[in-house]
Amino acid sequence: MWPWIRKPLRWLSQRQCVLISKVHVQQLHSSSSEFTDTCYNGLYPGHIPTTPIQRALLAVGSGVAALRDPYRHDMVAVLGETTGHLAMINLRDRMRNDPEGYTILTERPRIRLSTLDLSKMASLPDGSFGREYLRFLEDNHVTPDSRADVKFVDNEELAYVMQRYREVHDLLHTLLGMPTNMLGEVAVKWFEAAQTGLPMCALGAALGPLRLNASRLQSLFTSLGPWALQNGRRARCVLSIFYERRWEQNLEDLRQELNIEPPPVILSASNKRST
């Protein structure tokens, strides 16, 4: 990071953290009288209501923090929630208009370790979607439980859409054959930007390449990037797939069903933070 912008970025990040703290305090003060077993403020557990000014400040602060460190998943999450309202509406409507997507909106499945039968997934044959997803988790040392719960979306159904997007992110890595190193993450962000229209994804797609070295930039711009954008635009809505009922399906068959081509380059899962 350039020296002349370090102090402003640090100041903005600190201000953003102070704002989040104030919002949490507001939630705690009001929750004693308004919280119920099933919802907060008539929306969902954990919801933190914000004013337009607060949402704008949260968006700016989280964007700065995410720019400084793309692996700050908490800041990336806040950025997505505070800037993605229109995109979430579009994704929700696409899910409603898809029979499988409508079922997901109705049943509200969650992808957590507590909902996954890892033993059964490990027994599936190589090449099956469930076995390859489990292999992705093991090779990249990640867990579905790392996805934060939505807090700042002021609509219960849209909050679930955002939660579903977060929880299928690792499934997209599996579908696209991308590891969690920086090049793999940027390629997935290019796909997601084209597929979802979320500003957070577009920002990650635009700024992610700045953290790549020359050889990885060449790979991104000449092969992985065009492939990710093309497949993101033409693929079926990836939130409308009930993945929990597809573990036994062959990965290549699922890709064909979603109109996703195999990756043009095979990336290693090693060196997660390499640039």
Q: Which residues are annotated as a binding site?
A: 169-170, 173, 185
C-alpha 228/C-alpha 99 separation (Å) is 26
Q: Which residues are annotated as a binding site for Zn(2+)?
A: 169-170, 173, 185
* Widest CA span in the chain: 57
Tokens 């993605």 belong to residue: 84
C-alpha 71/C-alpha 64 separation (Å) is 13
Do residues 91 and 81 make contact, with C-beta atoms less than 8 angstroms apart?
no
Angle formed by the axes of helices 199-207 and 182-196, nearest 10°: 140
Half-sphere exposure of 271 (CA within 13 A, CB side): 6
C-alpha 179/C-alpha 5 separation (Å) is 31
